[in-house]
C-alpha cells in the first residue's frame, strides 16, 4: 500500500536519505559498532547534504521544513539499510533536540547554536534521565543554584544518547524545590569546567550509538544559556514528549517493516524438506500476521504524524502510538527471527541485530507501563467527585 501522506518533495528526500545511508553509513556501521560510537565527521557529512536541522529556518542553513514527515522518512531510510543506531543518533539531534533549540531560544542563542547544529559541527543531546529519575521527570535532582549572573550546576545524568559526541546538552535541572515549577532547562556546552563525561555505556544493542553518563561538579553556566524561562522546564519537556514518542514509534514501525522484508527474502531462498520455507503453510500464516500488524500500525502512526504536524496530537495518542508500535515490533521481530532458525541467532544477520536493538524501545521515552498509565488517565475512569 502506497504511503498516501507522502508528497513529491518527501519522496525526493527519501531518495537522498536512502542514498546517504547506503553509501556513507552501511559500509562502515560494523566497525562503528566495535568502536561504540559514530565518528563526528558522519554528522558533518549528513549536514552537508541537508539531513540535519532541516526544520531550522533558512538563515541558519535549514530549509524551514517543520514537517515531521521528513523526520519519519529519515528514520525509515536508516532502518531499511540496517543502520538504525546511526539513524537514531540523528533522530535525537533532529527530532528531540531541535524543537527546544528552535522554539525556546533567544535570537542570540539561535545565532550561536543553530548554524553549527544544521551543519553537524555541533552535535546535540538532551539530558533528563538520572540514576534515580527515569520516567518520573519531576523527580530530577540535578541542582542549579542561582549565583547572580550564572547558575552552579551539580549532579549526574545517565543513559544520555550522543553523550560522548555532544557539544551542546539540553539539561533538565532543579532551580527550586517545587516538583514541577522548579525545573529549568540549561544548555551545557563542551569544555565547561566541571562538566565531565563518564564511560560510554556497554549496552545490549545499538552499539554505535554512544550512550553516556554525564557528571556536573560546580559547573558555572551563564544565565544566557537558559532555554525559555527559569522554572518552565517541566512544561517544555511535557510539550515536546509527544514528538519524542512519535520518533520512537516511527522507528519501531520501520524496523518491523524492514524485518518483514528480510524474512520474505529469506523464506523464498531457504529450503527445508525439499521446498522453500515460504511454501509452508505455517510460514505463510506467520508472515500474514506480521504483515497485517505492520499495516495496521502504519495506518495509525501515519495519521498521528499528520496530527502532530497540525499541532493536534494529544499526549494520549502519542502514548498509544509508542505503546502499540514498540510492542508490535517486539512480536513481529520475534516471529520473523524464528523463521530464520539458527541463522536468526547470528549477529551477521540483520534480523538478529535488529532484535537486540529493539529491546530498548519499550523502555526509553517512557516505558510501556507509563504509556498505559497516560492512556488510562485519559479515559477518565474514576467517577467524578
Sort 215 into a burial class: Cβ within 10 Å, 0-12 / 13-18 / 19+: middle
Closest among 285, 323, 331 to 304, alpha carbons compared: 323
> Is the separation of the CB atoms in 230 and 184 below 8 Å?
yes
- Name the one residue in this structure whose C-alpha cell is 545565532: 111
- Is the Cα torsion angle 46, 49, 53, 54 positive or negative in sign? negative
What nine digits make up the cell of 252? 519501531
130 is catalytic: no
CB count, 10 Å around CB of 297?
A: 23
CA-to-CA separations, 321 to 71, 128, 197, 314, 325, in angstroms, rounded: 16, 22, 33, 11, 6
Q: Which helix (H) or strand (E) holds 59?
A: none
- Among residues 244, 293, 307, 329, the one annotated as catalytic is 244
**In whole angstroms, what is the distance from residue 252 CA to residue 257 CA?**
9
Contact 181, 211 (CB under 8 A): no
Q: Which residues are catalytic?
A: 244
Amino acid at each position: 500500500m502506497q504511503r498516501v501522506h507522502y508528497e513529491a518533495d518527501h519522496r525526493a528526500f527519501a531518495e537522498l536519505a536512502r542514498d546517504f545511508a547506503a553509501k556513507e553509513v552501511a559500509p562502515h556501521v560494523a566497525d562503528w559498532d566495535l568502536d561504540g560510537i559514530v565518528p563526528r565527521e558522519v554528522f558533518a557529512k549528513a549536514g552537508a547534504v541537508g539531513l540535519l536541522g532541516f526544520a531550522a529556518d533558512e538563515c541558519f542553513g535549514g530549509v524551514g521544513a517543520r514537517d515531521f514527515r521528513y523526520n519519519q522518512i529519515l528514520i525509515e531510510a536508516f532502518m531499511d539499510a540496517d543502520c538504525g543506531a546511526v539513524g537514531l543518533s540523528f533522530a535525537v539531534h533532529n527530532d528531540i533536540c531541535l524543537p527546544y533549540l528552535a522554539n525556546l531560544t533567544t535570537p542570540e542563542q539561535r545565532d550561536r547554536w543553530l548554524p553549527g547544529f544544521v551543519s553537524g559541527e555541533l552535535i546535540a543531546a538532551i539530558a533528563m534521565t538520572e540514576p534515580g529519575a527515569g520516567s518520573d521527570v519531576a523527580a530530577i535532582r540535578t541542582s542549579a543554584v542561582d549565583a547572580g549572573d550564572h547558575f552552579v550546576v551539580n549532579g549526574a545524568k545517565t543513559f544520555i544518547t550522543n553523550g560522548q559526541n555532544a557539544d551542546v546538552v539540553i539539561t533538565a535541572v532543579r532551580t527550586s524545590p517545587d516538583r514541577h515549577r522548579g525545573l529549568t532547562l540549561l544548555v551545557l556546552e563542551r569544555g565547561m569546567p566541571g562538566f565531565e563525561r563518564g564511560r560510554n555505556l556497554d549496552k545490549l544493542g545499538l552499539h554505535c550509538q554512544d550512550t553516556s553518563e554525564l557528571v556536573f561538579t560546580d559547573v558555572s553556566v551563564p544565565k544566557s544559556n537558559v532555554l525559555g524561562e527559569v522554572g518552565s522546564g517541566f512544561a517544555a519537556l511535557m510539550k515536546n514528549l509527544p514528538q519524542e514518542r512519535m520518533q520512537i514509534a516511527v522507528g519501531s514501525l520501520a524496523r518491523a517493516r524492514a524485518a518483514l522484508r528480510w524474512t520474505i527474502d529469506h523464506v523464498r531462498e531457504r529450503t527445508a524438506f525439499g521446498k522453500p520455507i515460504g511454501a509452508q503453510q505455517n510460514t505463510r500464516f506467520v508472515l500474514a500476521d506480521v504483515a497485517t500488524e505492520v499495516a495496521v500500525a502504519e495506518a495509525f502512526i501515519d495519521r498521528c504524524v499528520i496530527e502532530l504536524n497540525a499541532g493536534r496530537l494529544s499526549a494520549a495518542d502519542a502514548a498509544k502510538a509508542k505503546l502499540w508500535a514498540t510492542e508490535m515490533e517486539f512480536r513481529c521481530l520475534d516471529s520473523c527471527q524464528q523463521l530464520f532458525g539458527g541463522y536468526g541467532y547470528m549477529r551477521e544477520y540483520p534480523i538478529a541485530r535488529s532484535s537486540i536493538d529493539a529491546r530498548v524501545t519499550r523502555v526509553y521515552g517512557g516505558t510501556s507501563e507509563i504509556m498505559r498509565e497516560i492512556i488510562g488517565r485519559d479515559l477518565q475512569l474514576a467517577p467524578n467527585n
